[in-house]
Amino acid sequence: MLLASTPVDDDGALVAGIRAGDEHAFAELVRRYQPRMLRLAEATVGSHAVAQEVTQDTWIAVLRGVDRFEGRSSLKTWLFRILVNRARTAASREQRAGRPEDFGDERFDAAGAWTVPPEPWADRAEDQLMAAQLAQRVQTLLPELPAAQRQVLVLRDVEGLSPEDVSGLLGVSDGNQRVLLHRGRARLRQLLAAEVLP
């Protein structure tokens, strides 16, 4: 069913439009969130092709479940929760199919403490071009992080979600998501430093 539609700026109006069968509202929702969802899916499953499949499955689930969205969380958090659940299932399926992952990290001892404390994270890009190149390189290096670190890093640093939202989305404690974030950032710094230093 296609209803006449006007541009919609807020997520609540989009949800109402989708519930009413407005295809334009759904198209706007996809336009607004598709790149973010694809990025999070890829950070979770580690494969662009599988991430596309997960994202597509998520949109189908959103259409089927939009009437159950109660607004207790933001629409973005609800979308990401559906995506993360589907991505975890896909990642498990991929791993069972023979995609081993390395979760080791030599920067931490057996007790989880830093073996060498990380240097402070600093944005030292001299100009916008340097920052864009660095962002592109970080995006390329993300697949080298363990899945849990990738997910937390994308949700916190790229999507700007709060620690509480990330903990709830991923089903981890606040302390655990902080450790995953710090380890992910430290690993990215290490990978970037290895490229700069011979």
Quote the Cα angle for 24-30-31, to 5°.
Answer: 85
Neighbouring C-beta atoms of residue 6, cutoff 10 Å: 9
Q: Which CATH number fits the domain 11-96, given the four candidates 3.40.50.20, 1.10.1740.10, 3.90.226.10, 3.40.50.300?
A: 1.10.1740.10
- Residues 44 and 88 sit within 8 Å (Cβ to Cβ): yes
Tell me what the pLDDT averaged over the chain comes to. Answer: 78
Q: pTM of the prediction? A: 0.57
Domain boundaries, the chain: 11-96, 128-196
Q: What percent of the chain has pLDDT over 90?
A: 8
Q: For residue 133, what are the CA distances in angstroms to 43, 125, 172, 192?
A: 19, 9, 32, 12
pLDDT tens digits, 40-76: 888 888 888 888 899 998 998 888 888 888 888 888 8
Residues forming beta bridges with residue 108, ordered by sequence position: 114
- Residues 183 and 149 sit within 8 Å (Cβ to Cβ): yes
Integer Cα distance of 59 and 179 in angstroms: 31
pLDDT tens digits, 141-187: 888 888 888 888 888 888 888 889 888 888 989 888 888 988 988 88
**What is 128-196's CATH number?**
1.10.10.10
Mean pLDDT of 100-117: 56
Higher model confidence: residue 21 or residue 1? 21
